């Protein structure tokens, strides 16, 4: 395993509201100003997962690196749960997270939620994007690529977030493992639940 001298996860009893402020600071500072990027780039697990996201990612490299650290070092230490991404566009980050989940989170599923048809009706007073932006997602191509890459733990869920979230919440009421999320990744131009 690649050495990460700055990554020593804090004990859960030090968390505030379920999160480690100290660890978030170390990851953020290490990625922006420190040498944490060098350790990640040299990591075979990073390179493996990055191959799945090639040509699809709308996230910055630093954001993917943070997701990488969370999935490799932190999520395996907390209770069982799935990963959900609100706003998948071409599903690059979802592919990346699904590849990592296969290695580090046995049984965990990744749910990528998006209309996969562009932005819905927008309100110019509050929304950063206009209706129809990102309408080139190509849902069928994304599904074919997921299947070709063997990402059987990745589920592409089409629809508006509010509708999808209600359906997932209803499923959680019937089966605790169905609705337990370990990580929620938000990449949205609009979020109205």
Residue 59 placed within a domain: yes
pLDDT for residue 148: 95
Work out how many domains the chain is built from and give that number: 1
> Is pLDDT larger for residue 33 or for residue 105?
105
Residue 46 placed within a domain: yes
> pLDDT (tens digit, 9 = 90+) per residue, 31-42?
888 888 899 999
> pLDDT (tens digit, 9 = 90+) per residue, 107-140?
999 988 887 766 666 677 776 766 655 555 688 8
Residue 193 placed within a domain: no
176: pLDDT confidence band, cut at 50, 70 and 90?
very low
Helix segments in the chain, DSSP class H: 21-32, 36-41, 44-53, 61-69, 92-104, 139-148, 161-174, 176-179
CATH number at residue 149: 3.40.50
Residue 6 placed within a domain: no
Q: What is the arithmetic mean of pLDDT over 62-91?
A: 84
Closest CA to 93 of 81, 85, 82, 105: 85
N-term to C-term CA, the chain: 40
User: Tokens standing for 171?
Assistant: 């499923």
pLDDT for residue 59: 66
Q: Which positions ≥6 away from 121 have C-beta within 8 Å?
A: 131
pLDDT for residue 81: 82
Residue 47 placed within a domain: yes
pLDDT for residue 24: 78
Residue 157 placed within a domain: yes
Residue 129 placed within a domain: yes
Residue 136 placed within a domain: yes
Checking if the pLDDT of 193 tops 60, the result is no
Checking if the pLDDT of 97 tops 90, the result is yes
57: pLDDT confidence band, cut at 50, 70 and 90?
confident
Checking if the pLDDT of 150 tops 70, the result is yes
| Residue numbers of the domain that contains 30 | 12-186
């Amino acid at each position: 395993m690649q050495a990460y001298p700055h990554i020593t996860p804090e004990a859960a009893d030090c968390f505030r509201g379920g999160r480690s402020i100290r660890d978030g600071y170390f990851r953020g500072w290490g990625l922006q100003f420190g040498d944490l990027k060098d350790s990640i780039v040299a990591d075979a697990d990073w390179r493996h997962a990055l191959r799945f996201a090639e040509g699809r990612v709308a996230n910055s490299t630093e954001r993917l690196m943070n997701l990488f650290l969370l999935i490799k070092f932190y999520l395996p230490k907390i209770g069982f749960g799935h990963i959900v991404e609100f706003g998948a566009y071409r599903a690059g980050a979802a592919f990346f997270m699904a590849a990592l989940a296969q290695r580090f989170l046995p049984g965990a599923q990744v749910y990528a939620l998006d209309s996969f048809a562009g932005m819905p009706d927008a309100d110019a007073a509050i929304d950063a994007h206009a209706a129809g932006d990102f309408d080139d997602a190509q849902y069928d191509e994304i599904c074919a690529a997921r299947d070709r890459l063997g990402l059987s733990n990745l589920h592409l869920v089409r629809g508006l977030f509010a509708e999808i979230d209600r359906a997932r919440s209803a499923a959680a009421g019937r089966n605790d493992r169905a609705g337990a999320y370990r990580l929620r990744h938000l990449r949205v131009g609009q979020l109205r639940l």
